[in-house]
Chains A and B, each alone.
Chain A
Amino acid sequence: MRIGVFICHCGTNIGATVDSAGVAENAKSLPDVVFATDSMYTCSEPGQDGIIRAISEHALDGVVVAACSPRMHEPTFRRAVERAGVNRYMFEMANIREHVSWIGKDKEANSNKAFELVRIAVEKLRRNRPLTPKYFPSTKRVLVIGGGVAGIQAALDCADAGIEVIMVEREPSIGGKMAKLDKTFPTVDCSSCILGPKMVDVAQHPKITLYACSELESVSGFVGNFEVVIRRKATCVDNTKCTGCGLCAEKCPSKKSFDRFNEGVGTTTAINIPFPQAIPKKAVIDKSFCRQFVKGKCGVCAKVCPTGAISYEQQDELLTVQVGAMVAATGYDLVDWKVYSEYGGGRYPDVVTSLQYERMMSASGPFGGHIKRLSDGKEPKNVVFIQCVGSRDVSIGRPYCSGFCCMYTAKQAILTKDHIPDSQSYVFYMDIRSPGKGYDEFTRRAQEEYGTQYIRGRVSLIYPKGDRYIVRGVDTLAGAQVEVEADLVVLAVGVEAAANSPHLAEKLRISYDKFGFFMESHVKLKPIETNTAGVFLAGCSQGPKDIPSSVAMGSAAAAKAIGLLSKDMLESDPQIAQVNINRCVGCGKCINVCPYKAIREIDFRGQAKAEVIEAVCQGCGLCNATCPQGAVQLSHFTDNQILAEVEALCRC
């Protein structure tokens, strides 16, 4: 074999702490290595050309690049060697940046380590065989998980491109958090006026099937051929019969049910349609309040329903669908702000969350657009906003910025003045973070045109005095303690990953960070992709995002899904398991452990043998480690190859 080795400097990223030229020089001594050199940026065009030239000049049939992580540029270099006529799997990488130069300061130790990593890459490469990908058909259908604005955008874009979409929404209606907003920044246009039509489009699009009150039960399969089980939770209302007339809610005697849509501002009935623009516009029974379930008798809604849609016996339903790609757009939830007992920890009725305040301001909200206090129904005159409640706070494990609270607080201050002209708003802030088109101008308008008083500092205590609240904080610009009398306090509560996000991530087999946000494949260059092919991210499931970014990400996820499914056949990774039929004793252990059912038993001249279904195998190698005979070997990760790597490290 004729191997060429290329050691990258990556500018000074590697070069500063690894002697790349020295490593290249040493690499010439390795078996089968006929050419070794160092280059400044191996991934650049001249760098790739250098590889291609060396392949033809030195008749190389294998290439090792020692540079960054293979998770970053392995595909890049594979394409490069392929352009030079070498099979793309006759290529190995040594990770001397993330695993060497960036984590060690000792140049001698680093260079030595880099060389050893090159050595194991060479030993592995010497045992590689050329591989050719196989092709398999895919299901041209996309599953969108979550019906907030990001999911809606992804679904509509896919559907408009002619791809079938299945949308799963946990709540009774799509619309997500945006549907709860009164107005949106920085244009102060009505949220439901811009979102409503999109929600209707989802309902009416012939290519979109919507399952509300539903959650993902399980996922199996792989890119192009996922099999998804959806749990449709019992709503006790037959959606095929319900016309959304609302008679049931009118007559329901249980009027003190928790109003989820209105964030607990006001109450609702046990059977209800969450809001007038709900999609689907179907009634849902909340079993924790319904008298039929709590007390065992009532049945009023069943009696009044003109279409006989009520069915108390309804059970959860499981539905299996085949999809080729999935978009996770599960959004966010608010941090549990009640950990802050200095803000009352929920003891004071007029200390509300920003989302509750949206409902209090909304014309379609429980107060019909007239802001009033939850305690006594009076119109508040002094409104204090506190930003960063549960954001940028290491003490409660939420060190990150929630991104959009500065902006919506400015918006809410402006709207407060619009609603109550003789009101005065105060905003306690840490920093004003408004990097967006027209955003900073907007926060200035709140201060200059609307007279909102911005106080830079944290609030240490809110306490009731008489029927008002004293908000005590610090003004760090004036260097003084301040106390503001407030009728209403609005907390800009920070964002956390939607409840149960880690659970969903585990089902989707994608990674999540310690806060539960889903991990993108690469922070900068692959923000939509995940490490599981065919699963894409949109919206706040990946991290806090405002509406424009969520919509953009929804479209981006759709573009990724459309791109993936635009090909009639998908290419499989040929680094899969293979059975040496002479060694196989037909014990079937590999069949049992395979998580993909990618191995089947065949009859070979009267003997049971294992056979790998190539398009299904995902290359985990479980079978390889299980086979007592060493008959199943994972290509490019064979026992011999791994042992050769071990040997290269130990016997030198």
Chain B
Amino acid sequence: MSRNEPFGYYPGCSGQGTSAEYDSSTRAVCAELGMKLQDLEDWNCCGSTPAHTVDHSLSTALSARNFVQAGKQGLFDIVTPCPSCLKNMRVALRNMSDEHIGPQASKLLGGDTLQEGHTIKSVMQVIHEQVSANEIAAKSIRPLEGLKVAPYYGCLMSRPQGLMQFGDPENPMVMEEILAAAGAEVLPFPLKVECCGASMGIPLNEAVTRLSGKIIDLAAALGADVIAVACPLCQMNLDLRQGQINRAHKTHFQLPVMYYTQLLGLAFALPHNELGLDKLVVDPQPVLDKLANQRRAVANAMQTEGAA
């Protein structure tokens, strides 16, 4: 698959709501990198967490239907920004050949049949595979120089290992390589694949404030300017609930939590409204200021050099 051919794009439900900025920044960055994304028509929810905890056939059918829809458009290589959607869709592809679940799910598809040859990957993995570090660096007209980034994948992007095929499940390096290419100083972040508390924010808020609290705490201790994320739910827990975390632990963190696509967008100098920076809860202004100061310092240095 080359990036000249269009990928089927599955935004996921969050992309329509809580992570609209992930969706818009993903589209903006992919366009800048020359990757064509073609929206799936009449797509539906992947089933998220509830479906597969209730009925495997149903959750398989929900995701399988999206592949069927894509097939009708002639799209076989799908990308999605959301790791949770990715996991559900991959599980569905695997389950469709399961001797028990497969036939039941097929029945639920109501006459449609799933063709062979569908694949789904995360947008992050496809960028990593299709775009070289040099190319990202070349596109980065405002490189993220001097910006200390704590890369945080969340628990799903690399696991389960066999299903996600994302390198070392405990120590993936894809986001590091992409952001480093854009000029950022990427910190070695030991909690990069730890759980943020996921959907426990509602039934057991303490779990989220504790788990996400550790992540923010360590990132701050390492001197990070920003936490880069790739999952809508992680972003929500770290960003939206940062106030809750502060209240629970009597802390005063104000650590911006941004999608890696937003950071790439800044490096590519894409318009801020396309990146949805205004949607962030913790103000990203310190990040922008630091980058601006850095640019000024570099410009000054060059002027002085030129003068000398």
Contact = CB atoms under 8 A, between A and B. Distances in A.
A341 B191 CA distance: 12
B190 interface: yes
A109 B260 CA distance: 66
Interface string B172-196: 0000000000000000101100100
B206 interface: no
A255 B171 CA distance: 34
Contacts of A345: 168, 170-171
Q: Which range holds the interface residue count of chain A?
A: 10 to 19
A197 interface: no
B221 A342 contact: no
B218 A465 contact: yes
B211 to A, nearest CB: 10
A404 interface: no
Interface of B: 168-171, 188, 190-191, 194, 218, 221
B170 A342 contact: yes
Given A461-B194, A463-B191, A341 B168 contact: yes
Interface in A334-348: 340-342, 345, 347
A464 B170 contact: no
A340 B161 CA distance: 13
B179 to A, nearest CB: 19
B190 A463 contact: yes
Nearest to B211: A481
**Interface SS of B by simple majority:** loop
A479 interface: no
A466 B171 contact: no
Interface string A440-477: 00000000000000000000010111100000000000
Contacts, number: 20
A465 B171 contact: no
A345 B218 CA distance: 20
Nearest to B170: A341
Contacts of B169: 341
A463 B170 CA distance: 12
Most B CB atoms within 10 A — which of A345, A463, A466?
A463
Given A463-B191, A463-B218, 15 more contacts: A340-B170, A341-B169, A341-B170, A341-B171, A342-B170, A345-B168, A345-B170, A461-B190, A461-B191, A461-B194, A463-B190, A464-B190, A465-B218, A465-B221, A466-B221
Shortest Cβ-Cβ A-B pairs, 4 listed: A463-B190, A341-B170, A341-B171, A342-B170
Most A CB atoms within 10 A — which of B190, B191, B218?
B190
Interface in A287-344: 340-342
20 contacts: A340-B170, A341-B168, A341-B169, A341-B170, A341-B171, A342-B170, A345-B168, A345-B170, A345-B171, A347-B188, A461-B190, A461-B191, A461-B194, A463-B190, A463-B191, A463-B218, A464-B190, A465-B218, A465-B221, A466-B221
B159 to A, nearest CB: 11
Nearest to A463: B190
A461 B218 CA distance: 14
B223 to A, nearest CB: 12
A464 B218 CA distance: 9
Contacts of A341: 168-171
A193 to B, nearest CB: 42
A342 B158 CA distance: 13
Nearest to A472: B194
A484 to B, nearest CB: 14
Nearest to A341: B170
B116 to A, nearest CB: 31
A86 B224 CA distance: 88
A342 B221 CA distance: 20
Contacts of B221: 465-466
A464 B187 CA distance: 13
Contacts of B191: 461, 463
A345 B173 CA distance: 14
A238 B218 CA distance: 57
A143 to B, nearest CB: 44
A466 B222 CA distance: 8
B153 to A, nearest CB: 13
